[in-house]
């Protein structure tokens, strides 16, 4: 049996399903293949369920501080089992939404394992066997998986990844989190908020190593206030399973001092690697870089002009919105409508702990390394009436401007709703806004976003409220 499509997409994550819907809207005959649920890791085991987890933690923290707002709420406690159940329900709702959109846009959903066996031929294998699908173009959107490190053997019970953490029903009393990127930081916040003793270890000299150093410092201070134990410039030297549910960890800091911990579970969050094995890339002449990422051009084309790659498997930022943007570019190119590729300098990064962390564009360190002469504005939320009103005066806004052109080069926010506020600054960067244009954009009062306006003025020493 042989089917014929204009486009076959391998992978139904936020890159793949967006590309499929866009292809359907363009009038192309499209199939999307995935062995798992629609939505990929993001909707099922990543972005969406973790945000449900984090909201539960935030609500619990608010309940515990009810008296600060003139309210009474006694005996507030968490049920990990109930939190997991709600999280799974949120994911299921979103997956159902993708199913509806596929039907609406005439996307054929095929559940199975895909392998490229020629430039225009994809083999699909499921429980009933294998069949070949003909296609003019292929878009690879296979995502990434947690890096496997021999000294941290994940058994899914004692040593786990984010995947198992989202299904835990028994709350650990003590948890070691290895890696302080977004995944490690978010789970550290969550488990600490529901009462677990958390130890977070990171080899770099700051939490969230890719973020601006000032943002990381603020987060480190707030985590310390919350009771999270952070170990920077520290490596995990060894893990030893003493018995089920008891692991001895030896940490080593930059000075060579060893720190011994005994924990119930270890969460490994040290990075991701592209899912590029076993899908026929080599036979199709698709080239990879030294890290196993698929090499692509501006329009997401690989070294085989009929095959495109998007999302985590194509390297750069491993973010859902980056994958979606690349999916749109790839489909536009296939449809002959592409005008430009993705601007990777304007992709925001967000971490959804409390306080939230968000950034777009250059960090201060990167701007200086690029030889830029810069002016920096800073505005603390302690000077914001709205921040005090909602009970979250922690954090700040930091804006980086080119001293010559006054153009915005980078924006960084730490605080309540930072991940929502960053969109304004992403738009400002897209429109090449200057400090003056941001400062003279009247912001409603009282809002948290007033801090952006004040911060722009502070870059010139003209802030009103500090």
| Cα separation, 396 vs 413, whole angstroms | 6
- Looking at the DSSP bridge assignments, the partners of residue 234 are 253
Strands (E), 232-306: 234-243, 246-253, 258-263, 265-268, 272-274
DSSP 180: -
Active-site positions read: 445
Kindly state the helix (H) or strand (E) to which residue 135 belongs, with its residue range: strand 129-140
- CB distance 237 to 178 below 8 Å: no
Give dist(CA 284, CA 155) in Å, integer: 35
Residues 259 and 6: their CA atoms lie apart, in Å, by 58
Query: Kind of pairing, strands 396-402 and 374-380?
Result: antiparallel
Write the CA distances from 355 to 347, 416, 417, 419, integer angstroms.
20, 5, 8, 10
Beta bridge partners of 236: 251
Q: Which residues have a Cβ under 8 Å from the Cβ of 398 and sit 6 or more positions away?
A: 212, 214, 215, 364, 376, 377, 378, 411, 412, 413, 455
Rg of the Cα atoms in the chain: 24
CA distance 445 to 440: 14
> Do the beta carbons of residue 188 and residue 177 sit within 8 Å?
yes
* Token couple for 182: 């977004």
């Amino acid at each position: 049996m042989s089917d014929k499509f204009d486009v076959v997409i391998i992978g139904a994550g936020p890159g793949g399903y967006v590309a499929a819907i866009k292809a359907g809207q363009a009038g192309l005959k499209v199939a999307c293949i995935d062995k798992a649920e629609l939505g990929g890791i993001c909707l099922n085991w990543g972005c969406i369920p973790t945000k449900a987890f984090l909201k539960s933690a935030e609500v619990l923290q608010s309940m515990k501080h009810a008296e600060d707002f003139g309210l009474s709420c006694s005996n507030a406690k968490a049920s990990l089992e109930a939190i997991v159940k709600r999280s799974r329900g949120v994911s299921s709702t979103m997956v159902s939404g993708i199913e509806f959109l596929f039907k609406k846009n005439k996307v054929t959903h095929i559940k199975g394992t895909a392998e490229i066996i020629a430039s225009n031929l994809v083999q699909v294998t499921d429980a009933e066997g294998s069949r070949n699908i003909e296609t003019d173009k292929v878009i690879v959107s296979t995502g990434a998986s947690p890096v496997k490190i021999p000294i941290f053997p994940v058994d899914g019970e004692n040593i786990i990844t984010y995947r198992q953490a989202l299904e835990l029903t028994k709350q650990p009393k003590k948890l070691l989190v290895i890696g302080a990127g977004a995944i490690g930081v978010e789970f550290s916040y969550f488990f600490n908020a529901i009462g677990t003793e958390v130890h977070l270890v990171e080899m770099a000299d700051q939490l969230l190593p890719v973020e601006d150093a000032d943002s990381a410092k603020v987060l480190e201070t707030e985590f310390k206030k919350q009771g999270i134990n952070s170990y920077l410039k520290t490596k995990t030297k060894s893990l030893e399973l003493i018995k089920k549910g008891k692991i001895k960890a030896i940490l080593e800091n930059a000075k060579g001092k060893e720190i011994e911990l005994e924990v119930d579970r270890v969460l490994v969050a040290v990075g991701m690697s592209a899912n590029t094995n076993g899908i026929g890339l080599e036979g199709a002449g698709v080239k990879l870089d030294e890290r196993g990422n698929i090499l692509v051009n501006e329009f997401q084309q690989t070294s085989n002009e009929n095959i495109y790659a998007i999302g985590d498997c194509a390297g750069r930022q491993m973010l859902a919105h980056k994958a979606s943007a690349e999916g749109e570019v790839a489909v536009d190119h296939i449809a002959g409508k592409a005008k430009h590729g993705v601007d990777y300098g304007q992709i925001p990064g967000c971490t959804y702990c409390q306080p939230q962390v968000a950034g777009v564009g250059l960090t201060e360190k990167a701007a200086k390394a690029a030889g830029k002469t810069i002016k920096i504005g800073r505005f603390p939320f302690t000077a914001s009436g709205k921040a005090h009103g909602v009970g979250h005066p922690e954090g700040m806004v930091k804006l980086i401007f080119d001293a010559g052109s006054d153009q915005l080069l980078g924006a960084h926010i730490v605080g309540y709703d930072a991940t929502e506020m960053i969109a304004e600054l992403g738009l400002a960067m897209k429109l090449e806004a200057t400090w003056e244009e941001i400062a003279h954009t009247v912001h409603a009062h009282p809002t948290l976003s007033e801090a952006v306006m004040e911060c722009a003025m502070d870059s010139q020493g003209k802030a009103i409220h500090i």
